[in-house]
Amino acid sequence: MNFKILKDQQLIGQIYGVEYGRMNFSFVEGVNQSIKDSIMEVLGSCEGIEQLKSNLVAQGYIINEMTFETNIQRDLNLEEKRNISFVYQSNLIENIVEISEDELSRQFIRNFYGGHIGAWKYLRDLALAKKPISLSVLSSLHENISIEQKVLGHQIKNEHMGVIRDKDTVVMVGGRVCFPPSEDQLNSMFVKLNKSLEKLISDSFTVDQVLNLASDFHYDYEIIHPYADGNGRTGRLMINYIMVFCGLEPLVITNHDKQRYYECFGGQYDDHSVYKEKMYKFFVEKYKENQSGLY
């Protein structure tokens, strides 16, 4: 069952793809932040679709049922399957198992831009159009992913959605303590990336050069870990923004790759250059595997 949420005759969001007793939810673009906050508060206090609908109606929202096809109505081409597999496997790496490949497929072929698949579709559109990426864009996509994460029952605080973590939120990756970054540090990373991409496509570049740029950026991004949660998924989105920007297919890192992927991140006092090289070699291996149909 799928529902749309309206207020004052304007579409606010959608409840969709109810699976495993959970709900998926997304806001439409341009929704006022105060409305988002009020709905997220309701979402956090509800245990099921009927309670959610009742509480939203009590606050003046209108809930209308939407009719979608229950099965995919056409065969997916190889490019679509690869994009869907990328998002599905990226979810699995983070133990997010509530959204099936079938549901992601339905979301991908519809005009749907919510959740993780919607974040990738938006970023992929930017890459195909050769448009630059910024921290503010990625943070808005992080918010999309975080809302879906919370609706699926995985913990994340509302104040951490789409927001760079502060000095009170310290995380670890690969045995390394990640101290909160400054926005200037992150913005400079994106400026540098945009310049590198422009330079690459203005010359005759090789696949290895693209993989080297993607692996370097990914390593630096994950070592910084800009958000309280969702860094793996947003980091892998950025890998494939780079890939698609350069005319290549998305790189699919699977849940089966998890151990060797995580081994590419060093510990607190390890030499970054050694692990960057390890990450690059892993990307080259994955690209070759993907090209042979393994993902």
161: Cα separation from own chain's centroid: 12
Cα–Cα dist 286/254, whole Å: 9
- The pLDDT value recorded for residue 222 is 93
Closest of 73, 82, 142, 141 to residue 109, by C-alpha: 73
- 265 pLDDT more than 80: yes
Query: Where along the chain do its domains lie?
Result: 2-66, 78-291
174 or 224, greater pLDDT? 224
278 or 58, greater pLDDT? 278
- The pLDDT value recorded for residue 69 is 45
Cα–Cα dist 265/258, whole Å: 12
Percent of the chain with pLDDT strictly greater than 70: 89
C-alpha dihedral (26, 149, 191, 239), degrees to nearest 10:
-110
Continuous H helices in the chain: 33-45, 49-58, 78-93, 101-109, 115-128, 135-151, 183-202, 207-224, 231-245, 258-262, 272-291
Closest of 45, 44, 53, 51 to residue 13, by C-alpha: 53
- 46 pLDDT more than 50: yes
- The pLDDT value recorded for residue 268 is 61
Q: Which range has the worst mean pLDDT, 4-8, 41-45, 141-145, 222-226? A: 41-45
Q: Which range has the worst mean pLDDT, 57-71, 131-145, 239-253? A: 57-71
Topology (CATH level 3) of domain 78-291: Fic-like fold (1.10.3290)
For β-strands 2-7 and 171-173, DSSP reports them as unpaired
For the chain, how far is it from start to end, CA to CA, in angstroms? 31
Cα–Cα dist 177/156, whole Å: 20
List the beta bridge partners of residue 6. Answer: 11, 62
- The pLDDT value recorded for residue 170 is 81
pLDDT in tens, 71-122: 454 678 899 999 999 999 999 999 999 898 988 998 898 877 889 999 999 9
- The pLDDT value recorded for residue 23 is 59
Question: What mean pLDDT do residues 199-222 have?
Answer: 95
- 187 pLDDT more than 80: yes
What is the DSSP secondary structure assignment for residue 225, as one 8-state letter? -
Place of tokens 């923004």: 241
pLDDT in tens, 114-160: 899 999 999 999 999 999 999 999 999 999 999 999 888 899 999 99
The pTM (predicted TM-score) of the whole model is 0.79
Closest of 82, 87, 84 to residue 237, by C-alpha: 87
Question: What mean pLDDT do residues 253-257 have?
Answer: 96
